[in-house]
């Protein structure tokens, strides 16, 4: 019979967002199943996912691999969607968004580097064609 965890063990009062989820849900499984090779990490697209969790920045769940969780990485489209919605002034963002990384062109880069890269692309903040006047 499997031990039922004490609920107080599932809460880390110092954690928030995905850190809290990792503490509660993604702690080592004492009897791990082999990784599901069909479920790939949706951040880097190159490692098996260890599970599906809510993004810390969007009302959306994604499959995350261990490396991306450890690097606090989220998908480029999640970050870009926030940048598009919030706008071009980095002072308009909550400080914690800059704690994230993402995976671009084979490497992890900071959320701020990704912001500087994509928001300088011509037309990044243009409305989508269906919303254009
Ligand atoms: Zn990954």
- Percent of the chain, pLDDT > 70? 72
Q: List, as ranges, residues with CB under 5 A of the ion ligand 1.
A: 41, 43-44, 47, 65, 68
Q: How confident is the model at residue 3 (pLDDT cuts 50, 70, 90)?
A: low
- CA–centroid distance, residue 129 to ligand 1 (Å): 31
Q: What is the Cα–Cα distance from 60 to 105, expressed in whole angstroms?
A: 23
- CA–centroid distance, residue 34 to ligand 1 (Å): 17
- CA–centroid distance, residue 128 to ligand 1 (Å): 29
- CA–centroid distance, residue 73 to ligand 1 (Å): 8
pLDDT at residue 21 tops 60: no
pLDDT at residue 47 tops 70: yes
- CA–centroid distance, residue 3 to ligand 1 (Å): 31
- CA–centroid distance, residue 92 to ligand 1 (Å): 28
Please state the rounded mean pLDDT for residues 102-114. 97
């Amino acid at each position: 019979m499997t031990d039922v965890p004490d609920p107080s063990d599932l809460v880390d009062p110092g954690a928030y967002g995905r850190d809290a989820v990792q503490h509660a849900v993604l702690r080592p499984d004492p009897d791990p199943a082999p990784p599901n090779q069909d479920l790939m990490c949706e951040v880097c697209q190159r490692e098996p996912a260890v599970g599906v969790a809510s993004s810390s920045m969007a009302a959306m769940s994604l499959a995350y691999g261990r490396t991306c969780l450890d690097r606090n990485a989220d998908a480029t489209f999640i970050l870009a969607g926030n940048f598009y919605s919030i706008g071009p002034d980095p002072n308009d963002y909550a400080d914690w968004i800059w704690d994230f990384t993402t995976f671009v062109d084979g490497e992890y880069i900071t959320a701020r580097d990704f912001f500087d890269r994509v928001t300088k692309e011509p037309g990044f903040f243009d409305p989508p064609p269906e919303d254009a006047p």
